C-alpha cells in the first residue's frame, strides 16, 4: 500500500500540469564548516539575468500600495536578477543564501488593501530576506509571525501568474523552505532539507525521496528531467561526492551535481512544460563568501568575492551585465559598474 501511495504521488509529480518551469537547489555540507548552496534556473524562454551589488541602508517598500511593508536593508547582498525586475537568487554579506523556484501549486493569501494587512510584492520576497536576516533561524522566526502577506501577479508581458516558493540556507548549514499552500504559509525548517525542486509541494518531495532511498543509487537513479527525478538525483549525488574542506574541490563537485540535474540547452516540450532548458546556474560558498555564476551561453564561470565589496550605506548600487552573453572569467568584483538600482516590479 505504501509503495502504491508513493508511486501515485510520483505520477502526480510528473504530470504536465505539475510545474511550468523547472529548477533545482541543493546544499553541500563539508568538513570545516564548508557550506555551499547551488541552484539551476530552468526556463522555457530566455530569462535575462544580471549580477547586482545592493548596499545596506537602502530604503525599500513592498510595492503593493499604501499598505506596503517598509524597511531599510541591514545587510548588503549580491543577487541575480530576472529581467531586472526581481531578485531570483543571491547571498548577503552574512552568508545567508536565498533561492526562488517555481511551484505551480502555490496559492497566496488574498490581499485586500482595505483590510489594513501589510503586503510585499513577490518580486521582493527574496530581497526582503537577504536585507533583513543573517541566519535561517532569524528568517523563520520573523516570517512565521505572518506580519505581512506575499502578493503575486502575472509576469509583465505575459499571462503567466507568478507562483514561487523560497528556500534559504546559511553558513551553519541550516535550511528552510517557505511555501504558500491554499493561502497559508507553510514553513519547513530543518538542517536536513538540503534539496528542493519544483512540484510537488515540498512535503511530497520528501516522501518521494524516502521511497528512492531504499534503492541503491549506484544501481539505479531516475534519469528524466522531471522535478521528482531531479530531486532524487540531487539528494543522492550531494551526499555521494567527496566530503572535503578543500574549497576548490568542493565547489567543482557541487557544480558537477547541479549540472547533472540541469536540462540541456535547447530542450523544451510543449506537451511537457515542466521540462525547460537550464539558462544559468549559481554556486554560493557561504563560508568564504564567494558567489559563482554560470551562464550556459558562455564558456566561463564568473565569481564575486563579497569580502572585496564595499556594502557601506550611501555607496552606489553596482551591476555586472550578463544578459547579452557578456563573457567574464574569474573573480570579477572589480568589473561591476555603478548604476541606478533596478526597479522591482509591484502592483
CA 287 to chain centre: 18
Q: pLDDT higher for 266 or 15?
A: 266
Count of other CB atoms within 10 angstroms of residue 37: 31
Q: Kindly list the structural domains of the chain, giving each domain's residue range(s) and its CATH number in brackets, ordered by start.
A: 2-339 (3.60.60.10)
The residues that are catalytic are 23
Region of poorest pLDDT, from 14-18, 189-193, 202-206:
14-18
CA distance 196 to 208: 12
Predicted confidence band of residue 36 (pLDDT cuts 50, 70, 90): very high
pTM over 0.85: yes
**Residues 284, 301: contact at Cβ < 8 Å?**
no
Residue 91: pLDDT above 60?
A: yes
Residue 14: pLDDT above 80?
A: no
Residue 17: pLDDT above 60?
A: no
Query: pLDDT of 171-200, one tens digit each?
Result: 999 999 999 999 999 999 999 999 988 877
Largest CA distance in the chain: 61
CA dihedral 236, 19, 87, 72 (to 10 degrees): -100
**Residues 314, 321: contact at Cβ < 8 Å?**
no
Residue 276: pLDDT above 50?
A: yes
The residues, any chain, with a CB within 8 Å of residue 277's CB and separated by 6 or more, are: 42, 43, 44, 263, 264, 265, 266, 267, 268, 296
Planar angle of CA 195, 198, 203, nearest 5 degrees: 65
Mean pLDDT of 80-94: 97
Query: pLDDT of 217-253, one tens digit each?
Result: 555 677 677 777 888 888 888 999 999 999 999 999 9
Q: What is the pLDDT of residue 9?
A: 37
Mean pLDDT of 136-156: 96
Q: What is the pLDDT of residue 271?
A: 56
CA 229 to chain centre: 18
Mean pLDDT of the chain: 87
Amino acid at each position: 500500500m505504501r509503495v502504491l501511495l508513493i508511486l501515485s504521488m510520483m505520477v502526480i509529480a510528473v504530470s504536465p500540469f505539475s510545474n511550468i518551469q523547472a529548477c533545482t537547489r541543493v546544499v553541500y555540507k563539508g568538513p570545516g564548516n564548508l557550506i555551499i548552496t547551488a541552484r539551476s534556473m530552468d526556463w522555457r524562454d530566455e530569462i535575462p539575468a544580471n549580477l547586482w551589488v545592493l548596499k545596506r541602508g537602502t530604503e525599500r517598500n513592498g510595492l503593493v500600495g499604501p499598505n506596503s511593508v517598509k524597511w531599510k536593508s541591514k545587510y548588503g547582498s549580491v543577487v541575480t536578477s530576472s529581467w531586472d525586475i526581481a531578485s531570483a537568487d543571491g547571498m548577503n554579506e552574512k552568508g545567508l543564501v536565498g533561492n526562488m523556484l517555481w511551484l505551480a501549486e502555490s496559492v497566496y493569501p488574498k490581499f485586500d488593501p482595505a483590510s489594513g494587512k501589510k503586503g510585499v510584492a513577490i518580486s521582493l520576497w527574496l530581497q526582503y530576506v537577504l536585507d533583513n536576516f543573517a541566519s535561517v533561524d532569524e528568517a523563520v522566526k520573523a516570517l512565521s509571525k505572518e506580519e505581512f502577506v506575499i502578493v503575486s501577479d502575472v509576469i509583465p508581458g505575459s499571462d503567466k501568474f507568478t507562483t514561487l516558493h523560497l528556500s534559504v540556507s546559511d553558513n551553519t548549514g541550516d535550511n528552510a523552505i517557505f511555501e504558500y499552500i491554499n493561502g497559508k504559509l507553510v514553513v519547513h525548517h530543518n538542517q536536513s532539507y538540503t534539496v528542493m525542486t519544483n512540484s510537488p509541494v515540498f512535503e511530497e518531495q520528501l516522501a518521494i525521496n524516502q521511497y528512492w532511498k531504499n534503492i541503491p543509487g549506484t544501481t539505479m537513479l531516475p534519469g528524466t528531467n522531471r522535478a521528482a527525478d531531479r530531486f532524487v538525483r540531487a539528494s543522492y549525488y550531494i551526499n555521494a561526492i567527496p566530503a572535503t574542506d578543500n574549497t576548490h574541490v568542493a565547489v567543482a563537485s557541487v557544480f558537477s551535481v547541479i549540472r547533472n540535474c540541469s536540462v540541456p540547452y535547447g530542450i523544451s516540450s510543449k506537451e511537457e512544460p515542466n521540462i525547460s532548458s537550464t539558462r544559468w546556474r549559481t554556486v554560493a560558498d557561504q563560508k568564504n563568501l564567494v558567489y559563482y555564476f554560470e551562464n550556459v551561453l558562455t564558456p566561463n564561470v564568473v565569481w564575486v568575492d563579497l569580502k572585496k565589496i564595499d556594502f557601506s550605506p550611501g555607496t552606489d548600487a553596482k551591476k555586472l551585465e550578463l544578459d547579452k552573453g557578456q563573457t567574464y572569467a574569474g573573480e570579477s568584483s572589480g568589473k561591476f559598474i555603478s548604476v541606478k538600482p533596478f526597479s522591482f516590479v509591484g502592483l
